[in-house]
């Protein structure tokens, strides 16, 4: 494990994750995760598909309840809050979903306005803020009346960013923000995340397996490894440091991931495939 003391001991954590375990049935997804995210930090969580990145992100905002351990947000333990208090706390987060998760039945304008309506803001203020936020993500006024189905993937992602950021949250959570987008649109989304952070000094947590995004947007990278393939007692976070150290990471699995080399994973998959063929 490569670690950077400067990142691990930074002051004023806004999110603290302590001894977090998440289990679905008998499947252990997250094992003994300990993580502190400081105010204003831009943290990228990387790792292969199915390693629990999205589960970690959803646990931070309280959408998934931990099996053990807890998440502390701004000094408050999320597991100690009741449903109502948790709902009241959630607008302090902005979550951008992998699929954007825009409401199909609403127009773009209604989607972006949704968090403001939840806060009971007035119609005129809502209209002004929606148009301003859409302009910030580079979308024209004409999209306001369109349905999400009429937009391209990149536009939907940008609407998702506008919706998540409209109430000026303290923490922005991005789930695979560039997945499924072409390199140009991916870079637009990267720029957007950086701009959002510059303008509002928001803390950002970006779940991604796009190394370009991790290097460009993050100032700290954490790599998690699938719990099912860890040795007993081995920590699930196998890298924690600045993006510049990724290529020099002491752990071979980190270097392989960063370079996109299948390595022994390919052999494992081929072995499983041959075993399945043999059993048939």
Partner 1 sequence: MSSLSQSTTGRVSDPNHRQNPLVEWISDWGGVVVDVIVAIGDFTLFVWRAMIWLFTRLPRQGTLLPNFYQVGVLSLPVVALTGTFIGMVLAVQSHFQFSQIGLETRLGAVINMSLVRELGPVLAATMLAGRVGGAMAAELGTMRVTEQIDALESMGANPIHYLVVPRFLACIFMIPTLTIMADFMGVVGAYFYSVFMLDIDRHFYLHNSREFVGGFDLFVGVFKSLFFGAAIAVISCYRGFHCTPGAEGVGRAATAAFVISFVMILVLDLFLGILLDTIYYAIWPGGAKLFF
- The reply on whether position 149 binds partner 1 by CB under 8 A is no
Q: Which stretch binds partner 1 (CB under 8 A): 18-26, 186-194, 208-216, 242-250?
A: 18-26
3-state secondary structure the chain: CEECHHHHCCCCEEEEEEEEEEEECCEEEEEEEEEEEECCCEEEEECCCCCCHHHHHHHHCCCCCCCEEEEEECCEEHHHCCHHHHHHHHHHEEEECCCCCCCCCCCHHHHHHHHHHHCCCCHHHHHHHHHHHHHHCCCCHHHHHCCHHHCCHHHHHHHHHHHHHCCCCCEEEEECCCCCCCHHHHHHHHHHHHHHHHHHCCEEEEECCCHHHHHHHCCEEEEECCHHHCCCCCCCEEEEECHHHHHHCCCHHHHHHHHCCCCHHHHHHHHHHHHHHHHC
The answer to the question of residue 207 lying near partner 1 (CB under 8 A) is no
* 27 near partner 1 (CB under 8 A): yes
Give 95 or 237: the residue with its C-beta nearer to partner 1. 95
Closest to partner 1 by CB, 10 vs 114, is 114
Q: Is 97 in the site for partner 1 (CB under 8 A)?
A: yes
Least distance to partner 1, CB of residue 247, Å: 33
What is the contact mask toward partner 1 in residues 105 to 134, using x (rule: CB under 8 A)? ---------xx--x----------------
Choose between 87 and 201: whose C-beta lies nearer to partner 1. 87
CB nearer partner 1, residue 6 or residue 87:
87
Q: Is 272 in the site for partner 1 (CB under 8 A)?
A: yes
């Amino acid at each position: 494990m490569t670690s950077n003391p400067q990142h691990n001991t930074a002051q004023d954590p806004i999110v603290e994750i302590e001894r977090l375990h998440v289990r679905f049935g008998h499947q252990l997804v997250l094992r003994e995760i300990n993580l502190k995210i400081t105010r204003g930090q831009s943290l990228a969580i990387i790792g292969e598909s199915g390693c629990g990145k999205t589960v970690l992100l959803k646990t931070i905002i309280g959408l998934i309840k931990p099996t053990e351990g807890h998440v502390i947000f701004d000094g408050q333990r999320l597991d100690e809050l009741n449903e109502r208090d948790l709902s009241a706390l959630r607008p302090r987060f902005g979550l951008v979903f992998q699929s954007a998760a825009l409401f199909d039945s609403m127009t773009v304008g209604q989607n972006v306005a949704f968090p403001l309506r939840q806060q009971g803001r007035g119609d005129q203020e809502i209209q002004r803020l929606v148009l301003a936020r859409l302009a910030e993500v580079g979308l024209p006024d004409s999209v306001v009346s369109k349905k999400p189905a009429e937009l391209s993937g990149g536009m939907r992602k940008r609407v998702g960013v506008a919706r998540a950021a409209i109430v000026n949250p303290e923490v922005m959570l991005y789930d695979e923000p560039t997945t499924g987008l072409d390199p140009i649109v991916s870079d637009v989304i990267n720029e957007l995340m950086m701009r959002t952070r510059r303008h509002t000094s928001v803390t950002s947590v970006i779940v991604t397996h796009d190394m370009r995004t991790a290097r460009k947007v993050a100032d700290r990278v954490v790599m998690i490894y699938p719990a099912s393939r860890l040795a007993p007692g081995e920590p699930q976070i196998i890298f924690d440091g600045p993006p510049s150290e990724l290529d020099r990471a002491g752990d071979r699995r980190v270097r392989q991931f960063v370079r996109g080399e299948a390595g022994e994973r390919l052999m494992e998959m081929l072995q499983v495939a041959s075993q399945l063929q043999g059993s048939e």
